[in-house]
Structure formats: structure tokens, C-alpha cells
Amino acid sequence: MKSLRKTELAVIGGGPAGLSSAITAMRQGAEVTLIDRDPVLGGQLIKQTHMFFGSKDQFASIRGIDIPSELIKALEEGPGKVKVELGTTVIGYYDDGVILMEKDNRATTLLPQRIIVATGAAEKMLPFPGNDLPGVYGAGAVQTLMNVYGIKPGKRVLMVGAGNIGLIVSYQLLQAGVEVVAIIEAAPHIGGYLVHASKVRRAGVPIYTSCSIKEAFGRESVEGAVICRLDENWQPLPGTEKTLELDVICLAVGLSPLTELLWQAGCKHKYVPELGGYVPVRNEKMQTSIPYIYVAGDAAGVEEASSAMIEGKLAGLFAAASLGYDHDLESLAATYRKELEELRSGEAGSKIRQGLAKLIGGVSVAS
């Protein structure tokens, strides 16, 4: 019988959070294994054709698709070596700390001393009649179809949700030559950044707030949708129905953290709607209720790629420190925390700040 394969730190997920975790922990001196289910690193960055905001440290003014190569370069530069396992899905966590992985129909095991879960998030579904007709997509799925595989989802699209994902994917649909009939938003105001909303408005796409989808119809696939206005209690206003002819309905109604492995491990969770639903309880070190498991990025609470990268750095830093690699710990931690604080300041960050206050009791970031 072969002996169990071991690693000091396993990072699960090679998106912005996981890559940053792996780089940081490696630079501190930890021996790292980075695991991702996809054949390439980068997670959802590989389809983000728009430019990022924030500061230079979070790749502002660089397009999302160009960030993975920068991070991979840092990963390969060393000084240490990160073992990268691609096309590999972590499918289970067991009480003895062993993780089970699957690649090419073959299961393998790994025993890490520390784990960082950076598994990202999944798109939320909406209940309405006809919601399983072919032509109803998640907005992220449409973005993958177009920007990764070069496939248009259809001819005329209704975008449900005016958060950043709904606005950005609408613009990218227009860039691909697809008509966006309307963007509808159940809330009384647009959730995403004004700069994204302005771009689609200038292109002539209407954004209807306090508006929802009542039903989708069609024989074999989507042929149209009925939308209606909502009153101040979010209830449909009778007589306001409007029928639109279209062949694609895109749902951009939020993301849920992907936390299956953390539940399996028995990590405590808390329901925080501002962060996407159930999120793992964790401290300022990104450490969960199970001390050797850390979390970063959307799995820790749905936010943005920029903040995911800094959370990744923090998780990598503290996971490495707990293994004894605590070089410059305090000053690096202070730098990363300051970056996070700046990113979450202002109006745009208020929802995240409220969510985090519920999750970690508003602990001062200075502590």
C-alpha cells in the first residue's frame, strides 16, 4: 500500500483568491499544493473582458482576462515552488483531515496540514413559470459561453438584475452583437456601479427598476417573457404586465458561496444575506471555526475579484504563519488589511461592511 500523499498547505480553487493565497503562502516559505477543477488557472477571471477598478495593487485598469497571467507569473517566479493540480476537483473532506480529489475518473487523496478553501460562488436561480425553458441562463453562464467559447446565446436578451454582473454582461452581449431588449431590476434602484449602468444606457438599453419577471413562455424554448412593475412591498402591480419577444433570459440575481467542503468539514456557518446567504464563520485571519481550515474570496462571502485577491493574501499569510513561516507577519497583515479597508470604504462597500459586521461582529480591522 502506498503511503498517503502529504502537503503543508492545500489551496482549493485557482481563481483570484486561491492564486493570491498560493503566491503569498509560497513567498512566506510554505510548501503549497494548488488545486483547480478547470484545465487552466484564473477561475472566473478568464472571462472578465472589462477593466478593473480599485488601486494598482488590485490590478486597476487591467482587464480581468489579463490578470491570471500576471498571477501565474508570480506563482512561477518563486522563490518557492507551488505544485499545481489542474483538472482536479476536490470532492470530499474527511474527519481525519484527508481530502479526496477526482481527476480523469480517478480518485486520489491528499493530507494537508492546512487548507484554504477558495471555491468561489454559484449563480442563484429565480422561481417563475417557465424558468426551466431552454434559453433561460445564468448571466455568468452566458459570459462563459461568449467570452470563453465564442458562442452567442441567442438574438434578443432580457437581463434580470441590474447589479454589476447584469450590467457588465449586458454590455458584453451588445459588444458581441446581441440585442439586449431590457434590463429589469426588482429593487427600486440600480445595484451596480453607475459607470457600468451609464454605458448600457448610452447604448440605448432601457433599465426598468421596481420591475420583475412574471413568466417566460415558449413551446420548445423561450419565445418571450412577461414583465411587470412591483409596488413598494415588492408585490406585482396588476395591470402593469408587458410582453416582450425574445429568445434568451439571463438571470443575474446574485451568487451563493460554494461552501460544500466547509459544511462537510463541520465549519460553523451563519446566514448573512448581504454576503450571498450562508457563509462560513471566520475571524480576521480568514480562519474558520476549524483552526486548520481557512477561507478566501467569494466562498467567504460574495464580493469582488479585487477583494478576493486581498482576502487570499491574508489567508495565505496566516495559514503560512500557523505553519511557522511568519516572516514580516504583522506589517504584511497591516498592509493587506488597509487595502481591504480602502476597497470596502464608501457607498459601494456599505453592503459588504454591514454583512461583515453581522458575520464577525464588526471587529475592528486594526485588532
Does 366 contact another protein by CB under 8 A?
A: no
C-alpha cell at 32: 503549497
Position 285: which residue type?
Answer: K
d(CA 46, CA 146): 12
- Of 83, 86, 85, 89, the closest CA to residue 105 belongs to 89
d(CA 16, CA 309): 5
Q: Which of 125, 145, 187, 360 binds another protein (CB under 8 A)?
A: 125
Least distance (Å) from another protein to the CB of residue 109?
7
> Looking at 128-136, 283-291, 305-313, 351-359, which segment touches another protein (CB under 8 A)?
128-136
Unique residue bearing C-alpha cell 515552488: 81
**For another protein, what does the binding mask look like between residues 272 and 311, x meaning CB under 8 A?**
-----xx---------------------------------
Does 108 contact another protein by CB under 8 A?
A: yes
Size of the site for another protein (CB under 8 A): 36
Q: Which of 49, 50, 109, 348 binds another protein (CB under 8 A)?
A: 109
Least distance (Å) from another protein to the CB of residue 126?
8
Query: Contact at 8 Å (CB) between 182 and 227?
Result: yes
Residues 60-99 that bind another protein (CB under 8 A): 89-94
The residue (of 54 and 120) whose beta carbon lies closer to another protein is 120
C-alpha cell at 68: 491570471
Q: Which of 80, 111, 113, 124 binds another protein (CB under 8 A)?
A: 124
Query: Contact at 8 Å (CB) between 158 and 251?
Result: no
**For another protein, what does the binding mask look like between residues 319 and 348, x meaning CB under 8 A?**
------------------------------
DSSP symbols for 164-223:
HHHHHHHHHHHHTT-EEEEEE-SSSS--S-HHHHHHHHHTT--EESSEEEEEEE-SSS--
Query: Contact at 8 Å (CB) between 170 and 192?
Result: no
- Of 261, 231, 241, 365, the closest CA to residue 307 belongs to 365
Does 360 contact another protein by CB under 8 A?
A: no
Does 202 contact another protein by CB under 8 A?
A: no
Contacting residues toward another protein, per CB under 8 A: 1-2, 89-94, 100, 102, 105-109, 122, 124-125, 127-132, 215, 256, 258, 260-261, 263-264, 269-271, 277-278
